[in-house]
Chain A
Amino acid sequence: MSGKRILVVEDGITMRMFYQDVLGRAGFVVEEAANGVEGLEKALLGGFDLMIVDINMPKMDGYELVSRIRREPSLQATPVVTISTEAQDADATRAYEAGANFYIVKPADPVLLVETARLLTGAQA
């Protein structure tokens, strides 16, 4: 068990359960937020090793959330993976410009997702 803490910010309840399931089984502690505003609030409480952020969300979308995270001194060093159904390069570029560290296309392959989370949190396989 890695015990690394991941905050998943995603508006789809099924997707949240998917992350909870896949990452939880790989030994991560997964917290959830249902939109960007909630995500930022929870992130600010601190203690996350990685954030997985959906792009298309109500209230505050993923781009906005990531750029706000990067403006928060306490969150600047936290790795952020953005995840979206859009495979277009333009979307990935926008995410990287906002400050994301990686971009995954949804629905993420569970193996790829767990590997990415391990790499970005420094967890062992």
Chain B
Amino acid sequence: MTNPLLARFIPEARELLQVSASGLLKLERNPTDETAINAVFRAVHTIKGSSGLFDALALTRLVHAAEDLLGEVRSDALQIDSALVDMLLDSLDQVGQWIDALERRGALPADADGVAHRMATLLRERLGAQDDGPDRAPADGPQQGADPAPLADVATLPPALLARLSAPACLDAFRRACGGEVVHLVRYAPEPGCFFSGTDPLQAIRQVPGALALDIAAAEPWGPLEAFDPYQCNLHFALLSAAPRPEIEQAMRYELDQVTIAPVRPRDLVRIAGEASDGPIWDDFREAASGFLAAGRHDELRQAVSALRSVAGATLWRRQALDWLDAALSAGEPDPALVAALVAAAGSGRLDPVPAASALTAAPAPAPQPAPQATDPRQDLARTVLASQHRALERTGYDADRLASVGTVVGNVLLSLGRAADRAAIQAAFEAAREAQSVAPVLSALSAVMDGAPLQRPETAPALPDALPQAFEEAAPAAGAKEPEGRIAPKSLKVDQAKIDLLMNLIGELVVSKNALPFLAKRAEETYGSREMSREIKEQYAVIDRLAQEMQGAIMQVRMLPVSEIFDRFPRLVRDLARKLGKRIDLALEGEDTAADKTIIEALGDPLLHIVRNSLDHGIESPDERRAAGKAATARILLKARQEADSVVIEVQDNGRGIDPARIRAAAIAKGVVAQEEADRLSDQEAINLIYRPGFSTAAEISDLSGRGVGMDVVLTTVEKLGGQVSVSSRLGEGTTTRLALPLSMAVTRIMIVEAAGSLYGVPMDMIVETVRVPRERIRMIKTSETFVLRETIIPLLRLSRLLHLPESPRGEADAAVLVCHVNGRRAGLIIDNFREGMDVILKPLEGVLTGIGGYAGTTLLGDGRVLLVLDLRELL
């Protein structure tokens, strides 16, 4: 995988899928859980947003469909149920598989489009009446008025199309176009077979931003109903959009070959309908308006228009012409030809076609030439940004807080375009606005900038910007001087696990290497006779030792993972298995935040899975059986984690039928795991423990869940390999609890070196309670065993050399060195020859022919290169 962005996306998507799945399960149990629906929606939403960055269209489509559905659930328009959860989980599973494919091959499988289409269609079916047909007007589009009278001569807008668009929407588009925004006509003719490639044309065209009006028409006349093919798309779409061309292209990027985008001239949008009327007021208006128009007195013309509008009937054709005229005049720099045409229309009662050539020469700025390639995207974008500021100010009115950022933006846009003169003018307008507490000066200055001389291209602009004072900095009083770089450090960081593992290995090596220094110090003193040098080495060693320990602790912290890493997969698993088995189970999780080293967490997954499966399969009864036993039909499984001292304890509790010791005994005898007499001797608890014996399985038939040839013995082996313990307690008819206790970390072991029978051995520090020297006379014999009393407790004594079957060193008169250990729940004293230093080591397991030798936990290297055997006291004692 070479694309780093994709490498980042894959783990993120997996995590979000996990979040979504667990949220969905929560929702299934509690459909009104607002936190859960929000979490799921956001996760799916984020996947959709990020997936758009890659060539994974099918994935984006499917996630999008899921998001739409979740949006309906979130807004309470749709009730979530199990079937819906199933569908969504299936979709997320599919997405997960695609993520795997992206990781492996960097591309989706060939069938992805078809699969996405099928699944997205299923999902969208649940949206039901929400999305029932293509004939729906855009959500906020006003309803079309009375039967329109086609009047206008349109160049890029066919009259029939214009006639179908709603009049208010056209007027809105017209007003924007007059105000300097570029209004585009987007025509989209989807391929008839587009449904089969997973395209939803309506959805696609609705993605176009800045939509003002949408028209959907049949491409071919609809034939007789019996010949109708619902799998063929027979629709053409036309959309008026105020968004800049790049944004439209971006929204339609997958269908660009079926799309044409062209700017629309304001004149082409004019559509007037209504009853004819006549009378002296119109004549007066025509006369006055012509005068104002000739003198260029637009303000007075506007007053005349608004005066007449307030008295003329709203349904009159001429009155509607005034509406358009008013819109044309509301622009900062009205287009004279357009205004003249509309004045004539209102005066005469009909609209004369304006020759295209004159419209172009008269109105260069607000009416860009129809040829789309004539517009520079940068200029287009700048104009859109400025128009957005204009609109925002218009809407909010005077607001000093608001004005500041608009000032920065407008100043910066002009600076960026190299229009220094305009910048100065705008700045003056902002000052005037602040003084007058009104946005009017800014609005008109903005309109002037947008409508005035065509925006200069940056390359032809005078090279001023560098010399330009940062005039807008004062309008933009930043709180303080810029902070030095790097001060704002990111709070968290995602790192590849392999890097942490490498770091862990390196620190392990460092910890071991530093152990060479005390040997060096010893040699400096003993071989080279330099006590001074020896002392200095020891000092340095102390520093390095402390740093290494701190570093190790820090890395261990990084490696700690919460048990939720493994717990999180259980809700889904239990749900699916319970359904399969026809059982009803409520799974509860507790203490998911408890953290342990990643090796522990990772290794725990399988044993835990096995225990839970066992519980589901054998422990939990069917609902009928439970009711018969007077229990609630829904069983309960509790997964609980907590930290106890330096170990993490995980319990799996169920309230199922419990383990019957008699059945276990019988099964164990039948399978030849134990002999009859041994079975009879076992206590009930010991009988239950038989389930950990290899080859034991009580299930009458092997189900496909727990009976995979893996018994509880594997659980035991795995956990013990991790240095942990397993125990089971069960009450017949009430339930079973399995308890796993594991060390928090296992990477580096602290040991103490001891001498016995002339050799050195390591003893893990966590087993050692204390070291004492016991005078010979205080060692007492009880029966045949040696003991001594430590703070009023009798401690049995064992000789290490004897345990290891080594020749015993002669007992001197000196005090006995005793290592007090805590092993298997009791204390014992280990008599050794001498204590040596403690050290941190990385234990290497015994390998090859040594594998079978009991009593040793592993080996490690000493600083001088010698191999040290580390004892496993649990086995020895």
| A residues with CB within 8 A of B | 5, 11-15, 17-18, 21, 29, 31-32, 34, 38, 42, 44-47, 54, 56-58, 70-71, 73-80, 85, 87-90, 92, 96-97, 99, 101-109, 111-112, 115-116, 118-125
B445-487 vs A, CB cutoff 8 Å, 1 = contact: the mask equals 0000000000000100000010000001001111111110101
Contact of B4 among A17, A34, A88, A96 (CB under 8 A): A17
User: A11-B46, A102-B388 known; A122 and B491 CB under 8 Å?
Assistant: no
A97 and B393 alpha carbons, distance in the complex (Å): 10
Which chain B residues (188-233) contact chain A, with CB distance < 8 Å? 206-211
User: CB within 8 A of B396: which of A21, A97, A102?
Assistant: A97
B91 at the A interface (CB under 8 A): no
CA–CA, A32 and B53, complex, Å: 18
B402 CB contact (under 8 Å) in A99, A120, A122: A99
User: In whole angstroms, how far apart are the Cα atoms of A116 and B411 in the complex?
Assistant: 14
CB of A74 to closest CB in B, whole Å: 3
Chain A contacts for B391, CB-based, 8 A: 96
In the assembled complex, B8 has its CB within 8 A of some CB on chain A: yes
Given contacts A46-B480, A85-B49, contact A76 B388 (CB under 8 A): no
The answer to whether the Cβ of B500 comes within 8 Å of any Cβ in the partner chain is no
Give the chain B neighbours of A5 by CB distance below 8 A.
482
**Which A residues are CB-close (under 8 A) to B405?**
70, 76-80, 99, 101
Nearest CB on B from A41, distance (A): 9
Indicate whether A87 sits within 8 Å of B491 (C-beta atoms), given known contacts A77-B475, A116-B381, A120-B413.
no
Residues of B contacting A12 in the complex (Cβ-Cβ under 8 angstroms): 12, 46, 49-50
- 10 examples of A-B residue contacts, CB within 8 angstroms: A11-B46, A47-B481, A78-B405, A96-B388, A96-B395, A104-B247, A105-B209, A108-B250, A109-B246, A116-B381
- The answer to whether A111 and B404 touch (CB under 8 A), given A77-B477, A87-B207, is no
A34, B479: Cα distance in complex, Å: 23
Cβ B5 vs Cβ A74 within 8 A: no
Q: Which residues of A contact B481 (CB under 8 A)?
A: 47
Q: Which residues of B contact A125 (CB under 8 A)?
A: 378, 416, 458
Cβ-defined contact, A77 with B388, below 8 A? no
How long is the Cα–Cα vector from A47 to B395 in the complex, in angstroms? Answer: 29
B396: nearest chain-A partner, CB-CB: A97
Q: Which of B397-444 contact A (CB under 8 A)?
A: 401-402, 404-409, 411-413, 415-418
* B488 contact from A45, A70, A88, A124, Cβ within 8 A: A45
Output the nearest chain A residue to B47 by Cβ-Cβ distance: A12
Are B491 and A38 in contact (CB-based, < 8 A)? yes
Minimum distance in angstroms from A50 CB to a CB of chain B: 9
- Chain B, Cβ-Cβ closest to A47: B482
Given A78-B476, A87-B208 in contact, is the A118-B416 Cβ separation under 8 Å? yes
**Given A79-B405, A112-B250, A116-B385, A13 and B8 contact (CB-CB distance below 8 Å):** yes
Q: Is the CB of B50 within 8 A of A71?
A: no
> How many of chain B's residues have a CB under 8 angstroms from any CB in A?
74
Residues in B with CB closer than 8 Å to A104 are 247
Taking A38-B491, A78-B478, A119-B382 as known contacts, 8 extra A-B pairs with beta carbons closer than 8 A to each other, sorted by chain A number, are: A47-B480, A74-B479, A88-B139, A89-B211, A101-B385, A109-B247, A115-B378, A119-B412
Asked if B825 is at the interface (CB within 8 A of a chain A CB), the reply is no
Is the pair A15, B49 in contact by a Cβ cutoff of 8 Å?
A: yes
A112–chain B nearest beta-carbon distance, Å: 5
Scan residues 52-100 of chain B and give those whose CB is less than 8 A from a CB of chain A: 52-53
Q: Counting chain B CB atoms within 10 Å of each CB, which of A21, A32, A105, A119 scores highest? A: A119
B139, B404, B494: most-surrounded residue (chain A CB, <10 A): B404
Q: Are B50 and A119 in contact (CB under 8 A)?
A: no
Contacts of B208 in A (CB 8 A): 87
Once A77-B478, A79-B412 are accepted as A-B contacts, the answer to whether A14 and B381 lie under 8 Å apart by CB is no
The distance in angstroms between the C-alpha atoms of A106 and B46, with both chains bound, is: 11
A32 proximity list for chain B (CB < 8 A): 490
Closest 9 A/B residue pairs (Cβ):
A74-B479, A77-B476, A122-B412, A107-B52, A122-B415, A47-B482, A14-B50, A77-B404, A14-B9
A31 touches B488 (CB 8 A): yes
Given A45-B483, A85-B45, A15:B50 Cβ within 8 A: yes
A109 with B250: CB separation less than 8 A: yes
Scoring B46, B396, B413 by chain A CB atoms within 10 A of each residue's CB, the highest score goes to: B46
C-alpha gap A38/B391 in the complex (Å): 30
- Contact for A77 among B50, B396, B407, CB less than 8 A: B407
State whether A105 touches B251 (Cβ < 8 A). Answer: yes
**CB < 8 Å: which of A54, A70, A101, A111 contacts B409?**
A101
Closest to A42 in B: B488
B49 lies within 8 A of A107 (CB):
yes
- Report the minimum CB–CB distance from A89 to chain B (whole Å): 6
Q: Does B381 lie within 8 Å of A90, measured CB to CB?
A: no
Residue ID in chain A nearest B210 by CB atoms: A89
Q: How far is the CB of A115 from chain B (nearest CB, A)?
A: 5
**Do residues A92 and B478 form an inter-chain contact, with CB atoms below 8 A?**
no
Could you tell me which residues of chain B, from 313 to 352, have a CB within 8 Å of some CB in chain A?
none
Task: Note all chain A residues with C-beta closer than 8 A to B382.
Answer: 119
User: Nearest chain A CB to B77's CB is how many angstroms away?
Assistant: 16
**A120 to B159, alpha carbons, bound, how many Å?**
39
Please tell me if B184 contacts chain A, counting CB pairs below 8 Å. no
Q: Is B395's CB under 8 angstroms from A97's CB?
A: yes
> Does B42 interact with chain A (Cβ within 8 Å)?
yes
Q: How far is the CA of A108 from the CA of B52 in the complex (A)?
A: 9
Task: State which of B48, B140, B385, B409 has its C-beta within 8 Å of the C-beta of A89.
Answer: B140
Bound Cα distance from A107 to B50, whole angstroms: 7
Of B418, B475, B480, B494, the residue contacting A13 (CB under 8 A) is B494
Look across to chain A and name the residue whose beta carbon is closest to the beta carbon of B207. Answer: A87
Q: Is residue B534 contacting chain A, with contact meaning CB distance below 8 A?
A: no
- CB neighbours of B49 from chain A (8 A): 12, 15, 54, 85, 106-107
Check if B246 sits within 8 Å of A17, measured CB to CB. no
Q: Which residues of B contact A103 (CB under 8 A)?
A: 209, 388
Beyond A32-B490, A87-B207, A105-B251, whether A56 also contacts B45 by CB under 8 A is: yes
Known A38-B491, A74-B478, A90-B140: A101·B392 in contact at CB below 8 Å: yes
Are A79 and B408 touching (Cβ within 8 A)? Answer: yes
A112 to B406, CA, bound (A): 20
For A44, the chain B residues whose CB sits under 8 A away are 479
Q: Are B402 and A70 in contact (CB under 8 A)?
A: yes
B859 at the binding interface (Cβ < 8 Å): no
Q: Does B385 lie within 8 Å of A18, measured CB to CB?
A: no
User: Is B706 in the interface zone, CB < 8 Å from A?
Assistant: no
What residues on A are CB-neighbors of B244 within 8 Å?
A: 112
CB neighbours (8 Å) of A121 from chain B are 412, 416
Measured in the bound complex, the distance between the Cα atoms of B246 and A80 in whole Å is: 20
The answer to whether A122 touches B416 (Cβ under 8 A) is yes
Complex CA–CA separation, A60 to B209 (angstroms):
25
Q: List which B246-280 residues lie within 8 A (CB) of chain A.
A: 246-247, 249-251
Are B381 and A76 touching (Cβ within 8 A)?
A: no
Q: Which residues of B contact A101 (CB under 8 A)?
A: 385, 388-389, 392, 405-406, 409
| Residue B291 interfacial (CB < 8 Å) | no
Q: Report yes or no: A18 in contact with B478, Cβ–Cβ below 8 A.
A: no
Contact with A along B478-515 (1 / 0, CB 8 A): 11111101011011101000000000000000000000
CA distance in complex: A112, B378 (Å): 8
Q: Which residue of A lies closest to B250 (CB)?
A: A109
Complex CA distance for A48 and B401, rounded to whole angstroms: 17
Chain B residues, Cβ within 8 Å of A15: 46, 49-50, 53
Whole-angstrom CA separation of A78 from B478 in the bound complex: 8
B478 CB contacts on chain A under 8 angstroms? 46-47, 74, 77-78
Residue of A nearest to B11 (CB): A13
Question: Given A46-B479, A112-B250, A115-B377, are A17 and B5 neighbors across the interface (CB < 8 Å)?
Answer: yes
B475 close to A14 (CB less than 8 A): no
Residues of B within 8 A of A99 (CB): 401-402, 405
